[in-house]
Amino acid sequence: MVNEFSPISGAPETPITPGTYGLGGNPAAEAEVRRLMGDLEGRTLRETSPRLITGRRLVVRTMGLVYDADAAGGVTRSGYERLIWGTALYSPPSENRLIEVVCQYCRRQTALAAHDAAITNIALGDDGQLDPHGRPVGLSDLSWAGSQ
């Protein structure tokens, strides 16, 4: 019996999940997404471990994100460029837990070039974000601040 869940002859082995991309920028099949998500080191372009003014040490990775939340919604504006690269904060290596993605980029080269500026902003507690009233939001105001 054939139904809407039956494999299509010549179709990829696993379906493409909307908004997921390989490191080359092409849509990724489910199996590739799982592989990439399990290979943090393989997705990492640069890694730095700054000490914050609080004394806490974090890991900052500029990396392939694999997932673009805007594109996953299915509707993007004309000329939209996928945000598949980013700079993310991770807990110390003993935990290695994603805390927050603080910057996203369309291109690998832009992500690499912006890594040092992201480190400076993170170390100083200034990530350039604005609150709903247009005031600067320091990293101390982000969701993970104060956690040990």
18-38, pLDDT tens digit by residue? 788 999 888 898 899 999 999
* CB within 8 Å of 53: residues ≥ 6 apart: 123, 124, 125
In a domain, 147, yes or no: no
In a domain, 148, yes or no: no
User: What is the percent of the chain with per-residue pLDDT over 70, rounded to a whole number?
Assistant: 67
In a domain, 1, yes or no: no
Range of the domain at 88: 16-141
Cα separation, 59 vs 131, in Å, equals: 25
In a domain, 87, yes or no: yes
Residue-level pLDDT at 66 = 92
Domain count, the chain: 1
Residue-level pLDDT at 146 = 37
Q: Is the pLDDT of residue 120 over 90?
A: no
Residue-level pLDDT at 74 = 66
Which parts of the chain fold into alpha helices (H)?
Answer: 30-37, 40-43, 69-72, 108-124
In a domain, 106, yes or no: yes
In a domain, 2, yes or no: no
Q: Is the pLDDT of residue 72 over 80?
A: no
Residue-level pLDDT at 95 = 84
- The whole-model pTM stands at 0.69
In a domain, 134, yes or no: yes
Length of the chain: 148
Residue-level pLDDT at 130 = 47
In a domain, 10, yes or no: no
